[in-house]
Amino acid sequence: NAGVMQNPRHLVRRRGQEARLRCSPMKGHSHVYWYRQLPEEGLKFMVYLQKENIIDESGMPKERFSAEFPKEGPSILRIQQVVRGDSAAYFCASSPSYGELKTEAFFGQGTRLTVV
Amino acid sequence: SQQGEEDPQALSIQEGENATMNCSYKTSINNLQWYRQNSGRGLVHLILIRSNEREKHSGRLRVTLDTSKKSSSLLITASRAADTASYFCATDAGGYIFGTGTRLKVLA
């Protein structure tokens, strides 16, 4: 059972371009979470998705950022018109349940976005 | 603001000593979890403690939870150089909400 797979591992974009980050959750997991981490800082929650639904996007910037988790295929975090301040590591996590019996989250290795 | 706040932000100890990290949170929870992150890598789950539990052990790890104070502590006993990492607590408020982390350095 492969773990959470994120790709690409490293992504370089010029200012104004679009960045698309992909996350394939663990098999059997229907909950996906995206986080952003700046160097030497903690993980900042961005968005929580279930299949075809956004459950909580309270951590997502209102502009340029969007996320989806389609019925088929990986979850996508899209950043339009990237700026230097978007440079960070973006982590995806998945879990198999929610609510009273919520279990641990399993993390991917992250995508390191560099905006030049 | 972050749901969890770890304390201290950084900790440096000698190999063999115990390391204690604390976490405070703001809202009611169903469970609290501790994770470890090695430099530049994804987080690895260490231990989960439910809101009706007060203490839990896993190997050299001991976690306590005080829901009345909205706080938890992680104790690593007989630390090793390989324990050098950042440690985060997370609560299950919707998406997992992480604190800012404690950077632990264990000196050989």
**Structure confidence by residue, pLDDT tens digits, B79-89:** 999 999 999 99
3-state helix, strand, coil in chain B (%, to 5): 5, 55, 40
Mutation to test the A interface, candidates B96, B100, B102, B103, most A Cβ within 10 Å = B96
* pLDDT at residue B93 greater than cutoff 90: no
Closest partner residue to A105 among B40, B96, B101, by Cβ?
A: B96
Sign of the CA dihedral running B102, A26, A56, B67: negative
Which residues share a beta bridge with A31? A50, A95
Strand order in the sheet with B71-76: B5-7, B19-24, B71-76, B61-66, B55-58
**Chain A, nearest residue to B5 by Cα:** A42
- Indicate the SS3 state at residue B88: strand
Q: What is the pLDDT of residue B76?
A: 97
Section B33-52 average pLDDT: 90
| Range in A92-96, B38-42, B43-47 with the lowest mean pLDDT | B38-42
Q: pLDDT grade, residue B3 (50/70/90)? A: low
Rounded CA separation A42/A6 (Å): 19
* pLDDT at residue B52 greater than cutoff 90: yes
* pLDDT at residue B6 greater than cutoff 90: no
CB contact under 8 A, A4 and B92: no
Section B95-104 average pLDDT: 84
Q: What is the pLDDT of residue B2?
A: 44
Cβ contacts of A67 on chain B, cutoff 8 Å: none
